[in-house]
Amino acid sequence: MNVTTGKQGTRLVIAGVYVALFLLGAVEGMIGSFQYSRTAGSVPAAALVSCAVILATCLLAAWGTRSVSGALVPGIGWILASFVLSMPVANGSVIITNTTPGKWYLYGGTVSVMLGVVLSLGWMRAQSK
């Protein structure tokens, strides 16, 4: 049996982890883009839950990979998926509308990604001391 060992195998596993994290962030962004408008009364509950989920994903990915790039990669996937789906298409359809839940989803999610990266950066610096 031929088992891949050494640096080549390690790099392949690391690349696989980062691809999986990117895809996780993109899937979260796609799901959130279609579910953000669910509300509980006047509170955009689904948008806020989506923000909390991407924040948790970024923090847990940084913890799991022991690097800031672990937080950045799913965040980039989320931002790309969400902002591409927020762009209007040629026939005028828009998935993420310019409403209060839409703004909470896009801007809150972006702030959550940035917060996840900054918190993981601070955590990594504290770990290195």
pLDDT tens digits along 81-98: 999 999 888 887 888 888
Give yes or no for a contact between 50 and 32, defined as CB atoms under 8 angstroms apart: yes
Inside any domain, residue 2: no
* For residue 104, pLDDT beyond 90: yes
Can you give the residue range of the structural domain that contains 101? 7-128
Inside any domain, residue 37: yes
Number of structural domains (the chain) is 1
pLDDT tens, 12-59?
989 999 999 999 999 999 999 999 988 888 889 999 999 999 999 999
| Predicted TM-score (pTM) of this structure | 0.88
Inside any domain, residue 42: yes
Inside any domain, residue 24: yes
